[in-house]
Amino acid sequence: MDDALDLALNGYAFLPDRRRARGGGPVPLRLAGLRATALCGPDAVRFFYDEAHVRRSGALPEPLRGTLFGKDSVHSLDGAHHRRRKHLFVSLLTGDGVGDLVRHVTAAWDDAAAGWDGPTVLIDEAARVVTRGVCAWTGVPDGPGLARDLTSLVDGFATAGPRHWRARRARGRLERRFAALVERAREHPGGTTAVDTMAWHREADGRLLPPRVAAVELLNVIRPTVAICWFVAFAAHALTLRPELRPRLADEAFATAFTHEVRRFYPFAPFVGGRAVADLEFGGVAIPRGSMVLLDLWGQNHDATLWPEPFAFRPERFVGRPVGATELIPQGGGDPRTGHRCPGEQITVAVLTALVRRLAALDYDLPPQDLGISLRRIPARPADGVVVVPRRAGA
Ligand code: HEM
């Protein structure tokens, strides 16, 4: 029996349910005709991110490349080829640039929030705000429909329905638009924006990336940054669960702990996958060469052996606790410089912490709405996107 239907029906809970039913350990599966083994836990993270065990080339299903990541992206590279491309992302997305991005995004939020009047859908507004900020930061012109196209890429990767086709059309438009920017940047050497960096990046053989691939990678900076809007909506949801935390978010250290708990608690990326490099074994289960190996991100972030009371939202658990390489893994695990762990984690934490603090300082009412988050929908989101009605001073 193929397990793809069960995955489609049960979403994030699919792998943890299977693991529970087996009494723990690796879970053998068959997904879309392929043999797969799902792993979870810090030892599994170490195993999964070892290049002698798992490769990424040939592992990403076409529907994912056609929507979320793009073809020939860093996600699908291995070895020296991966490290060279990855260095490009790590150097762009860490260090001084992070503070500059936060300044652009918070300025866009302050500007937009001053005009919020009446019911405001937070996930959509946050998408527009972050799009404005990241466009200013990368040197990409913002424009009508850009935030919507970028969020469509994220919203449509794990469904066969209309959201998927919207994502494919958005990718076509965005790749054409970004490839044109890359070509223009190549006519004017010497620029220092992210567009210029992508335009002038050279592969190991000294050649520039084809404009379409440079566009794909530029999108792999901008698209996931805009996806932080999901976490902004989740943060607002968390404040409905723990409203007493609001004043404590003025404190940056506590706000950072809150951000980590939002990333742990709420469902976003369900799992990551690759292919077994050789005949392997993990936890007593044989993993044949070429079969899929999955790492259950959501399951691990809700594993009671790592997180006491995993289904309670408790930022306190991150106060004074460093975030290591193998436990909290909403954006993958291991070392982002050498492996496939997300290079945008610093950016995510910095931007989200800044926006969480602004959200906590915003005076608003929540009108009647559906705040439910279905674990069957990938990516999950509060059903109505969190509608807020800002209170005006003196109103
Ligand atoms: C990879 C999640 C934000 C850029 C990943 C992976 C996950 C992830 C699960 C895959 C890890 C793996 O394959 O092992 C997230 C989430 C984010 C986020 C939940 C919050 C919204 C960002 C940001 C950027 C970014 C802000 C860039 C500005 C990337 C890139 C990769 C990646 C380029 C590919 C890395 C590689 O294959 O070596 N992310 N990410 N992400 N992320 Fe993020």
Instruction: For residue range 17-50, list pLDDT tens digits in order.
Output: 999 999 999 999 999 899 999 999 999 999 999 9
Ligand 1 close to Cβ of residue 263 (< 6 A): no
Query: Is residue 38 included in any domain, yes or no?
Result: yes
Ligand 1 within 6 A of CB of 340? yes
Nearest to 38 by CA among 283, 263, 268, 327: 283
pLDDT tens per residue across all 395 residues of the chain: 799 999 999 999 999 999 999 999 999 999 989 999 999 999 999 999 999 999 999 999 999 999 999 999 999 999 999 999 999 999 999 988 999 999 999 999 999 999 999 999 999 999 999 999 999 999 999 999 999 999 999 999 888 889 999 999 999 999 999 999 999 999 999 999 999 999 999 999 999 999 999 999 999 999 999 999 999 999 999 999 999 999 999 999 999 999 999 999 999 999 999 999 999 999 999 999 999 999 999 999 999 999 999 999 999 999 999 899 999 999 999 999 999 999 999 999 999 999 999 999 999 999 999 999 999 999 999 999 999 999 976 55
- Protein residue with least CA distance to atom 22, ligand 1: 344
Cα of 364 vs centre of ligand 1, distance in Å, is 32
In a domain, 366, yes or no: yes
Candidates 11, 15, 372, 1; CA nearest to 158 is 11
Q: Is the CB of 140 under 6 A from ligand 1?
A: no
Could you tell me if residue 352 is inside a domain? yes
Is residue 342 a known part of a binding site? yes
Q: Is residue 362 part of a domain?
A: yes
* Residue 21 is assigned to a structural domain of this protein: yes
pLDDT digits (tens, 9 = 90+) for 220-241: 999 999 999 999 999 999 999 9
Ligand 1 centroid to 220 CA: how many Å? 8
Residue 72, in any domain of the structure? yes
Please report the atom of ligand 1 found closest to the CA of residue 134: 28
Instruction: Decide if 195 is inside a domain.
Output: yes
- Amino acid letter, residue 284: G
CATH at residue 367: 1.10.630.10
On whether the CB atoms of residues 207 and 247 are closer than 8 A, the answer is: no
Number of structural domains in the chain? 1
Asked, for residue 254, whether it belongs to a domain, the answer is: yes
User: Cα separation of 35 and 53, whole Å?
Assistant: 16
Range(s) of the domain holding residue 14: 4-390
Q: How far is the CA of 292 from the centre of ligand 1 (A)?
A: 20
